[in-house]
Amino acid sequence: MKPIILTAALAALSACAHHINPEVTAYNGDSVTIATSESFKRRWALNVASDEAERVCRQGQGKRAEHASTRKDRARGRNLDLFLCLQ
């Protein structure tokens, strides 16, 4: 019975990350900024932002994304993560 409960809990946790809607706020070929809401756990939001940055960098120029910094936009309640698009 315990494995079923653990599986259900893991499924619920992973479903939470799917509700995080990353927004590309800037992209110039060398870097991309991804906004995520501060209302989500930071590690989940950063994982989603990283995935989106990886997609954008790969699609744009076949590069990989590397996290460089984070700024907080308190007025809008979101994190702005800057990723460098590297070869």
Per residue, the 3-state secondary structure of the chain, as one string, reads CHHHHHHHHHHHHHHHHCCCCCEEEEECCCEEEEEEECCCCHHHHHHHHHHHHHHHHHHHHCCEEEEEEEEEECCCCEEEEEEEEEC
Tell me the pTM: 0.79
pLDDT of residue 60: 75
pLDDT of residue 8: 52
Q: In whole angstroms, what is the distance from residue 2 CA to residue 7 CA? A: 9
What are the 10-residue block averages of pLDDT along the chain, 87 residues in total? 50 58 96 97 96 94 95 97 97
